[in-house]
Structure 1
């Protein structure tokens, strides 16, 4: 999956909850004020399910989920680890 495909899936999930949001990939969703702890956990669960990976505890920080760009980088980073661990 390409970076753009990852970002598109992330945007689709976020905009599915907040359809009127004009979201840039580098915009901090926590600063926008609509993200609560429940939605943050839903994001984690979505990322793990959609991209078939398990996010290690050391990667579970707000910084990895602040922006679409950050989440895409997290997916790529963790996916690389998963591939290396399986190979």
Structure 2
């Protein structure tokens, strides 16, 4: 399977939502105060079936992810 075939089977991003939250405490830490980002992706496969994927990451991880998406978009515009 070549790269083009794999790209076609990856699915289509139908919707993406994100929200910022703060974990204020846990069983092990009474004063956590740790911000995080939750992303919910809805992806349609080739038959049209939609699946939902939820990803939770630190703010730093989200910023890195965002930068990678910007770089990909920039490179795709060149093609």
Q: Shorter-normalised TM-score: what interval? A: 0.3 to 0.5
RCO (CA 8 Å, sep 6+): is it higher in 1 or 2? 1
| TM-score (normalizing by structure 1) | 0.33
Instruction: State the TM-score, normalized to the length of structure 2.
Output: 0.36
